């Protein structure tokens, strides 16, 4: 069962770094860890994904624990536009083709000016 656990909500001050944690103790060896976010009244948008090594892109960094049972999404300098619900996602391999993506409730990030 591809289950992730995230805090319900977090708060950050503008221009400070934010570390959003995710536990995924049941992850299988070949599963990527995906992060998406959903701004108010919009569809989810891609943030970052990774397999084993830490990953960086222009939006964020993804730090993956050595045992892969947890990961942390890092926003280096939070802005007001980063206020959103952040989802850590795995694939559930109980279906025929292993393509069922499981979104949990996510973490609602508030950014204070």
Partner 1 sequence: EAQVTQNPRYLITVTGKKLTVTCSQNMNHEYMSWYRQDPGLGLRQIYYSMNVEVTDKGDVPEGYKVSRKEKRNFPLILESPSPNQTSLYFCASRRGEGIQYFGAGTRLSVL
The residue from 9, 11, 32, 110 that contacts partner 1 (CB under 8 A) is: 32
Interaction of residue 102 with partner 1, rule CB under 8 A: yes
Interaction of residue 53 with partner 1, rule CB under 8 A: no
Kindly state the tokens that stand for 113: 């000016």
The residue from 3, 5, 13, 46 that contacts partner 1 (CB under 8 A) is: 46
For the chain, the distance separating the N- and C-terminal CA atoms, rounded to the nearest angstrom, is 39
Output the smallest distance, CB 29 to partner 1, in A: 14
Kindly state the tokens that stand for 109: 């990030």
Q: What is the dihedral of CA 48, 42, 18, 30, to 10 degrees?
A: -30
Binding piece for partner 1, criterion CB under 8 A, among 16-24, 62-70, 75-83, 92-100:
92-100
Contacts of 93 (CB under 8 A, 6+ apart): 2, 28, 31, 100
Interaction of residue 21 with partner 1, rule CB under 8 A: no
């Amino acid at each position: 069962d591809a289950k992730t656990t995230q805090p319900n909500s977090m708060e950050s001050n503008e221009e400070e770094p934010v570390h959003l944690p995710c536990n995924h103790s049941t992850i299988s060896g070949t599963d990527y860890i995906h992060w998406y976010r959903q701004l108010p009244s919009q569809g989810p948008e891609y943030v970052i994904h990774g397999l084993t090594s830490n990953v960086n892109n222009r939006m964020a960094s993804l730090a993956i624990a050595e045992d892969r049972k947890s990961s942390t999404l890092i926003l280096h300098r939070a802005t007001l536009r980063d206020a959103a619900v952040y989802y850590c996602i795995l694939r559930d391999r109980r279906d025929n083709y292993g393509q069922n993506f499981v979104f949990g409730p996510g973490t609602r990030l508030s950014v204070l000016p």
